[in-house]
Amino acid sequence: MKPKELTDLSQLCIHTITLKPWSIEEAAKKFSASGVKGITVWRDTLEGRNIKQTGKMLREHGLTIVSLCRGGFFPNKDAGKRQVAIDDNRRAIDEAAELETSILVLVCGADPSQPLEDSRKQIQDAIEALLPDAESAGVRLAIEPLHPMYADSRSAINTLSQANDMAEAVHSPWVGLAVDVYHLWWDPCLEKEIKRCGENGNLLAFHVCDWKVPTTDLLLDRGLMGEGCIPLKQIRGWVEETGFNGFIEVEIFSNAWWQKDQSEFLNKIISAYREYV
Ligand code: ZN
């Protein structure tokens, strides 16, 4: 099924990191003036700021704070370091609550000095340890599976199937998933796993960008929608067939785009959203 055209910007959210050269105040002003309705805040943009006031400022610009990015990085061979990570994630949950957003996105991490299965077990243990904090703060934890090229150190959860397994094993209303096309577009089971995720009520967030051909940097060369080979409309169709009608979040890390004029980039994001997503 072909998804409906995105004629207005009511579902458009942009991550602060997408326009990294801008401060959060500048992003708020420019998003608001351009009709963008949602913002996902990266923790680094909050440094040195009063988080409650920043949340208020964003809402005064008419923005919905879709989520806070990011917690995670749980696995470590050293139990003491695992505890440090859990404590940092407790702070991230508090920050999300102060911002008054209901989702904290998790980049789960991996420790290359141990088997992936060990890292996965430590991720699940850490998420379970955080459940009481998530519940009392009213913040849901969104596990984001990452492309397998990051299995060494960024995430031991690399397919939506693995993420679905973990969310189902934890089985809590405070844990769900973030589907990011950059990480998952290649997966032959994607349609089936998106359906499964939606049926279990676990689909919390949908991130878009594009996969450039060739990709010159495995972290910082994401494409603007339409610049690459991801079948964005098809994947959005699968996501919406589950009943998902939340924000569509543009998350682009790109040295090339960060070097350009950011107002021009914002205009390009808006037109690419209308044309290619
Ligand atoms: Zn993402």
Residue 6 lies in a domain: no
Give the model's pLDDT for residue 3. 86
Q: Which domain holds residue 67?
A: 12-276
pTM over the 0.95 mark: yes
Distance 84 CA to ligand 1 centre (A): 24
Residue 129 lies in a domain: yes
Residue 62 lies in a domain: yes
Tens digit of each residue's pLDDT (9 = 90 or more) over 74-95: 999 999 999 999 999 999 999 9
Give the model's pLDDT for residue 203. 98
Mean pLDDT of 154-169: 98
Distance 72 CA to ligand 1 centre (A): 13
Distance 182 CA to ligand 1 centre (A): 8
Report the percentage of the chain scoring pLDDT > 70. 100
- CATH code of 98's domain: 3.20.20.150
Distance 146 CA to ligand 1 centre (A): 8
Q: Which own/partner pairs from 237-243 qualify as long-range (CB within 8 Å, at least 24 positions apart)?
A: 237/1, 237/2, 237/3, 238/190, 238/191, 238/194, 238/195, 239/179, 239/194, 239/198, 239/203, 239/206, 240/3, 241/1, 241/195, 241/198, 242/194, 242/195, 242/197, 242/198, 242/199, 242/203, 243/198
Tens digit of each residue's pLDDT (9 = 90 or more) over 45-59: 999 999 999 999 999
Contacts of 276 (CB under 8 A, 6+ apart): 210, 225, 226, 232, 233
Residue 1 lies in a domain: no
Residue 187 lies in a domain: yes
Distance 15 CA to ligand 1 centre (A): 9
Tens digit of each residue's pLDDT (9 = 90 or more) over 242-260: 999 999 999 999 999 999 9
Residue 130 lies in a domain: yes
Residue 240 lies in a domain: yes
Report the percentage of the chain scoring pLDDT > 90. 98
What does the mean pLDDT of the chain come to? Answer: 97
Distance 184 CA to ligand 1 centre (A): 10
Residue 225 lies in a domain: yes
Distance 253 CA to ligand 1 centre (A): 10
The total number of structural domains that make up the chain: 1
Q: How far apart are CA 119 and CA 266, in angstroms?
A: 38
Distance 152 CA to ligand 1 centre (A): 18
Distance 148 CA to ligand 1 centre (A): 14
Distance 140 CA to ligand 1 centre (A): 16
Give the model's pLDDT for residue 1. 63
